[in-house]
Amino acid sequence: MRAWPRSLTARLALLFALLTATLLLVVVLVQGRAVEGHMRELDDHELTGKVRLIRNVLHHGESSETRSRRLDDAFIGHDMLAVVLRDTEGRVVYALRPELFGERQLAADSVPEVTTTWEKDGKQYLGLETIVEVLDSRSRPTRLRALVGLDVSHHLRFLEEVRRRLWIDIFFAAIIAALFAWFAAHRGLEPLRRVTATARGLSAERLAERLPERDAPNEVRELVSAFNGMLARLESSFRRLSDFSADIAHELRTPVSNLMTQTEVALSHARSPDEYREVLASNLEEYERIARMVSDMLFLAQAENGHLLHSSEVVKLADEARALIDFYEALAEEQCVRIVLTGEATVIADRSMMRRALSNLLSNALRHTPSGGSIEISISSQGGVVTLAVRNYGDTIPAAQLSRIFERFHRASPERHRHGEGAGLGLAITRSIVEAHGGRIEVSSDAGVTIFALQLPLAVPPAKA
C-alpha cells in the first residue's frame, strides 16, 4: 500500500494542507506562549498589588483587631484570594481563607520572596510569599511573613479552551486549504491534461496537431514547447518513413518487374543455351542493382544506430582524393571532364568510410558535369576545421531541391531514368559518414555552379610560421 498518493493534484493538495497546518501550528504555539505569559503577568501583578495593599493597610500602628478589620474591608469582593500573615515566631496574626493553602509551610525568613503554585480540590493556585515591613500597635517596626494565594483556574481554563478551539480551527483550516489547493492544482494542471489528451489522440493522420503555447502557464510552457517539438519531429520522421517506404517500393518495382518480364519471355517457348545465358546475365545485373540498394540501406541503418565507424586513423585528404581521381580518370576522359585538386589537410577518420564519402561526391559531380566541363576539388583548413569542397559546372539545382538533396532516394531530376546508377542513396550515405565523424556537409547551387562542402575537425593544426 502506497502512503504517498500517485496523483499530482492530490500530492499538491496534501502538501499545501500540511504546510498550512504547520504554519498555523507555529502561530498557535507562539501566540499561545504569548497569551500564557500575559496571563501569568496579570496574575503576578495581582499578587504584588495585594502585597502592596497589605503594606499600606498595616503601615499604621494599630491594634490587631483594628488591623484585621481593615484587611477584611480591603479584601471584600476578592473571592479568589487567600491571605495568611505570620509573625516572626510563626503565629498567625491574620488569615483569609487559610484552608486554601492546605498543609503548605512558609519559607524561611532568609528567603525574601518566592513564587509557588499548587493544586487543591481540582483548582490551580498561584502564591507569592514575601516579607512585609509593618508597624505594631506601639508603632514599632516589625516584620511579618505574608503568603498571598490567588485562584488562577479560570485563566487556565480559558487557555485550555483557546487551545482546544485553535486545534479545531487548524484541522478545519487544513481541510479547507487542501480543498482550495486541489481546485487550484486541478485548474493549473489543465495544460498537462491537454497534453495527455493530445498524446492519447495521436495517430498517423493527426501528427500535424500542436498545443497552443501562448495559453500555457510559464511552468508548463517549456513542456508544451518540447511536446510540440516532439510532434514536429515525429511528423517529419513519419513523413520521411512514408516517403522512404514508397521510394523503396518504387525502386524495387523496376528491377523486380524487369526480372519477371525477362523470365516470362524466356519461358514463353524453348530457347537456345546462349539465349538463356543472355537472360541470366541480364537478370544478374538487376540482382546486383537490388543488392547494392539493400547494402546501402543497411549502411544507413548502421549509421543511424552509431555502428558506422570501426576504426580511426590519420587520413590525408589530398592522398585519398588523388586515388579517387586516378580511379575515375578513364570515365572523366570519356566524358571530356577535367578534374583539378588543390590544397591539403589531415583529419582523424575511418579511411574506408571517408573514401566512400569522397567517391560519392566525385561520382555525383561527374554525372552532372557536361562534356568539356571541369570539376574542382579544394581542401583548406582554418580555425581547427577542414573544408573539402567539390565544385562542378553544369545545371543549377532548384532551390526547392537543395533542402532535400541529402534525403534517401531523392534525385534532383527524378524524371530522368538512370541506367547503371544508384538508387538516390549516395548523398544520404555521404551525409551520414560526415556526421559520424563530427562534421557537416552543405550544398549550394547558383548560376550553373554547384558546390558540395564537407567540414571536418582538423587532426593536426597547421604549424606556425
Q: What residue ranges do the domains of the chain occupy?
A: 8-160, 218-304, 313-457
Check whether domain 218-304 has CATH 3.20.20.10, yes or no? no
> What is residue 416's predicted lDDT score, i.e. its pLDDT?
41
Give the cell for residue 367.
Answer: 554525372
Which architecture does CATH list for 8-160?
2-Layer Sandwich (3.30)
Give the cell for residue 390.
Answer: 567539390
What global pTM score does this model have?
Answer: 0.49
User: What is the per-residue pLDDT across 159-168, written as a single tens digit (0 to 9) for each?
Assistant: 888 888 888 8
> What is residue 21's predicted lDDT score, i.e. its pLDDT?
84
Long-range contacts of 42-46, Cβ-Cβ distance < 8 Å, separation of 24 or more: 42/155, 43/126, 43/150, 43/152, 43/155, 44/115, 44/126, 44/128, 46/150
Position with higher pLDDT, 197 vs 219: 197
Torsion of CA 46, 49, 54, 55, to 10 degrees: 150
What single DSSP character describes residue 11?
H
Class of 313-457 per CATH?
alpha beta
Res 322 pLDDT > 90: yes
Domains 8-160 and 218-304 share a fold: no
Res 3 pLDDT > 80: no
